[in-house]
Amino acid sequence: MGVQESAPLDVERIREDFPILEREFDGNRLVYLDNAATTQTPNQVIDAISDYYRATNANVHRGIHHLSQEASIAYEEAHDNVARFVGASGEREEMVFTKNTTEAENLVAYAWGLNELKEGDEVVLTQMEHHASLVTWQQIAKRTGAEVKYIGITEEGELDMEHARELIGEDTRMVSVVHVSNALGTINPVEELADLAHADDSLIFVDGAQAVPNRPVDVEAIDADFYAFSGHKMAGPTGIGCLYGKKEILEEMEPFLYGGEMIRKVTFEDSTWNDLPWKFEAGTPLIAQGIALDRAIEYLEDVGMDRIRAHEEWLTEYAIDRFEEFDDIDLYGPRDPEKRGGLVGFNLDGVHAHDLASIMNDHAVAIRAGDHCTQPLHDELGTAASARASFYLYNTREEVDRLIDAIDDARQLFA
Ligand code: 7TS
């Protein structure tokens, strides 16, 4: 196979931090391969949440008492740390906390798109966009008269860059692309797409929900204008997402939500806005979640993002090799593990993906089946649904074998 046989990570040690992985169902140890939907949470992050409520809980920005000061410092510093984690040198001013990636997409679509787009303008997406991006830009385009165009994909499941060069032109105002596809696993050439966008004075929004959790990401090296991701897909809690935006663009943008915390001066007639990023964080923000996400990032950095990436490649290579033993399995996305993230979408001939996931569940193997919020992509692939196994730093090759055994069981049942 041309790869090392031992895991790049000390998985046994890592698994001690994730108590949920010890769960058993009908005597079978859980095999959790649904990490692209949400990842599990280590004790360190669970403790950060309970420690916060036990010792620090207070509202931020507004109190002068000890607890509020402590909570404010921890919450504000979380922005700096998350910004640094993805290479944003503007620190907190360039890092807005949102509810999730979806809200980050909507923030930009409403606050920038609704004000800036007009008839004749074009928004260029890819055919592999998650609905979070696709539906959002589609609806904002309808409201503004702008047109949405989609970069096609090749047989191999990669972006058709020739098509991208044709589509991105002088009418393009926004290019919104997924960094790593949640359905195909494809890693897209976002640096090249950023160059294409900027050559035509367009902005670029990169959806990094499946990229930031498992590889080093540098938003400045990509030259992304906006970059979004979700805490719950990177060992953090639910309820927090992150929007990186270049400071000069965020400064020019109107707010997305109005209310307390995001204002500087309010009269009965008008209001002015707070500094970045608070201008985009109306109301009581995601305090516990932000602090816990900071702890998740520290956890991932301690393990090492390069090593997490290597581990996923090591698992994906093995999974693809195992899948390729069978000619009744259709695999989606590029075969080369260096061109894809740690997830594998597939279908087993003659078995609906939902039935497959249900048989997997009988083996305590958790995978996802469906359209993975990429319905138009599945139409292009000619299938209503696919099954998907997705890996994280605590998964093992033995778990991939359990997946393959469970598929074999499905094969026997449906034969
Ligand atoms: N973008 C991509 C590429 C995603 O994979 C997801 C979630 C989102 C955006 C939205 O993230 P959220 O945190 O706002 O929900 N993807 C999936 C998935 O593949 N299965 O469940 C959620």
Q: What's the CA-to-centroid distance between 37 and ligand 1, angstroms? A: 6
Out of 58, 161, 263, 373, pick the active-site residue: 373
The verdict on 296 and 346 lying in the same domain is: no
- Radius of gyration of the CA atoms of the chain, in A: 22
Ligand 1 atom nearest 372 alpha carbon:
19
The verdict on 375 and 308 lying in the same domain is: yes
Per-residue pLDDT for 1 more than 70? no
* Residue-level pLDDT at 309: 97
Q: Report the CATH number that the domain containing residue 361 is assigned in CATH.
A: 3.90.1150.10
Burial of 266 by CB count in 10 Å (0-12 exposed, 13-18 middle, 19+ buried)?
exposed
Quote the DSSP letter at residue 50. Answer: H
Quick: pLDDT tens for 267-314.
Answer: 999 999 999 999 999 999 999 999 999 999 999 999 999 999 999 999
Q: What domain range is 86 assigned to? A: 46-301
**Residue nearest atom 7 in ligand 1 by C-alpha distance:** 37
Q: Which of 138, 368, 94, 35 is nearest to 242 (CA)?
A: 94
**53 is a domain residue:** yes
Higher pLDDT, 71 or 3: 71
Q: What's the CA-to-centroid distance between 326 and ligand 1, angstroms? A: 29
Q: Is 144 within 8 Å of 113 (Cβ atoms)?
A: yes
The verdict on 194 and 279 lying in the same domain is: yes
> CA-CA distance, 116 to 110, in Å (whole number)?
10
How high does pLDDT run on average in the chain? 96
Per-residue pLDDT for 7 more than 60? yes
Q: How many domains in the chain?
A: 2
Per-residue pLDDT for 2 more than 80? no
Q: What's the CA-to-centroid distance between 133 and ligand 1, angstroms? A: 10
The verdict on 139 and 182 lying in the same domain is: yes
The verdict on 65 and 187 lying in the same domain is: yes
The verdict on 117 and 248 lying in the same domain is: yes
Last residue of a domain, one of 301, 327, 353: 301
Tell me, yes or no, if 373 is annotated catalytic.
Answer: yes
The verdict on 291 and 205 lying in the same domain is: yes
The verdict on 276 and 335 lying in the same domain is: no
Region at 120 (left for phi over 0; alpha for psi -120 to 50; beta for the rest)? left
Quick: pLDDT tens for 158-173.
Answer: 999 999 999 999 999 9
Quick: pLDDT tens for 98-151.
Answer: 999 999 999 999 999 999 999 999 999 999 999 999 999 999 999 999 999 999
pTM assigned to the model: 0.97
Last residue of a domain, one of 256, 285, 301: 301
Collapsing DSSP states into helix, strand and coil, what is residue 371?
A: coil
Q: Report the CATH number that the domain containing residue 220 is assigned in CATH.
A: 3.40.640.10
Ligand 1 atom nearest 129 alpha carbon:
3
**Residue nearest atom 18 in ligand 1 by C-alpha distance:** 37
Average pLDDT over residues 194-213: 98
The verdict on 372 and 384 lying in the same domain is: yes
The verdict on 271 and 340 lying in the same domain is: no
Q: What's the CA-to-centroid distance between 16 and ligand 1, angstroms? A: 27
The verdict on 240 and 314 lying in the same domain is: no
The verdict on 281 and 330 lying in the same domain is: no
Quick: pLDDT tens for 324-362.
Answer: 999 999 999 999 988 999 999 999 999 999 999 999 999
**121 is a domain residue:** yes
Ligand 1 atom nearest 388 alpha carbon:
19
Instruction: Give one DSSP letter per residue of 179-232, joined into a string.
Output: SB-TTT-BBP-HHHHHHHHHHTT-EEEEE-TTTTTTS---HHHHT-SEEEEEGG
**Residue nearest atom 4 in ligand 1 by C-alpha distance:** 209
Q: What's the CA-to-centroid distance between 100 and ligand 1, angstroms? A: 9
Spell out which residues line ligand 1, taking CB within 6 angstroms: 36-37, 100-102, 130, 132, 178, 182, 207, 209-210, 230, 241, 368, 372-373
Last residue of a domain, one of 301, 325, 347: 301
